[in-house]
Structure 1
Amino acid sequence: MTAGLASTITVHPLDIIKARMQLDTSPNPLLNSTRSVFADILRNEGPTRIRALYRGLSPNLLGNTAGWGLYFLWYKQGQDLVRNLKGYSKDQKFTNVDYLTASSGAGALSAILTNPIWVVKTRMISTSSAIQGAYPSMVYGFKSIWQTEVYENIKIRQRERKGNQELSNTDTSIAAAVSKVFAGTVTYPSQVVRSRLQTYDPALKVQRKSLGLVRIALDCWRNEGALGFYKGIIPNLARVVPSTCVTFLVYENTRWALPRIFNEGTSESKTAI
């Protein structure tokens, strides 16, 4: 893991340059060579050259760490599953197809779960922090996607399904609940680490924050595995999803009602639950 972190940090500037070149649509590729893109980043982006070259490092580190960790976890479990399904003995060798099956399954699962991280990373490294609307941080990126894309896209699809009619309170509640479950699941590991940073460990007789974020995350991974980062997620979702539904119901109904009260004066009524 340490080697992976070190290599990710070392080559991160090249990742930014690669992304900028991949997104370039100009007819002359020589105008945006590696050297020119690198020089442009140093010259025009900031607030410092180091921060410009390492923009988007947080999701890159998180994605690589989580991605490879989940891959190796599920690769081993995939091998065990293949062995059990085929009735292999402990000493029986796997075929190439067996290894491919286990690795493909592990790769697919880890890719699905870490995809939100890579979306935020790509959006950060492909834009300068000076551009209006650019994500200033990884957490902001997750919040922005949830608020402006996940929730809004669900609403759009529901509206299309209903023939572009006004959404009912039930539709709004469903959209809010689904988007909150998605956002809450993706960001929940950070809440576990944060809670442990804020607590006092009687066994160690120290505040856990003195151990550091990385130490706490690594200890959780080593001692509890990937599921350790999702302890308590069920009661958390049971707590936050209803409150989110209420919040968005009030917001949507208020946004619908205010223009009609002060501007239009229409008597049109919103569909009830």
Structure 2
Amino acid sequence: MGDKPKPKITIIPPLYQFLFGGSAGMMAICIVQPMDLLKTRMQLLGPAAKDYTMVRMAKEVVAKEGFKGLYSGISAALFRQATYTTGRLGSFNAITDIYNSSYGTPNFGIKILIGMLAGSVGALVGNPAEVALVRMTADGRLPPEKRRNYSNVFNALGRMIKEEGPGTLLRGAPATVSRAAVVNGAQLASYAQARQMLLPVMGENMLLHFTASMIAGFVTSAASIPLDKVKTIVQNTAKGGEQLGMMAVVLDVLKKEGILGFWSGFLPTYLKIGPHTVFTFIFLEQINAAYFRAVNA
């Protein structure tokens, strides 16, 4: 009697889920970091944002800081992906696999809840990198004598602890977690749902991943940018601004910019979140496929 064929592995172990998610996010951010920088700069303009376009902001950055200025804070962006994205994508995929094995395919509502939970986990882990990223990308807009001039993310984290206290690493954490819950509930759930609905029509291919990602990116951008703006303002506050909370920022933006002020920087936000979603999920799908090919060979 011949040996029975070895059953194929169809579930990726949780540790690899986390590693693969973080790796995909780090690869994607290398492509879209300039959009994140432009988004941050536009969100910090206040009422002047209405006079700015993304192109004007990009020209100003390049004129004052050179092309490399568009990549200011890249070390913090990579570290953020290594912490935040590792936590959120790893948690989402691991929880989804556990749910699948016990209850079958989750419906859209359950996907949103899993996404929100995964995003909150990732946000808490990634908040220190988030603060460093906001500050490093915002630094170039300040006069030279007021710049923090962090040399890299670890220099930023060390100086924040030394100069402002360890609590600075958690500055804006409620806004970060709130935003992450919205982002991931929208992004991960809408991607999974769009992928599930389009799969019978489009088949399993790169076009499917791209289309589902762009749908997820638009939904995510529209839903998350108000909280993202609040988070950015809170985390950019210098020493002495600890009392600047979420509600104070919300009221200040409403007073000075009106309700539409919460959506300043929407275009660079979408041009960052959309392609980042696309590249993250495309990279992740390819990494997952390579894993399955290797273990099932």
State the structure with more CA Rg.
Answer: 1
- TM-score normalised by L of structure 2: 0.42
| More helix per residue | 2
TM-score (norm 1): 0.45
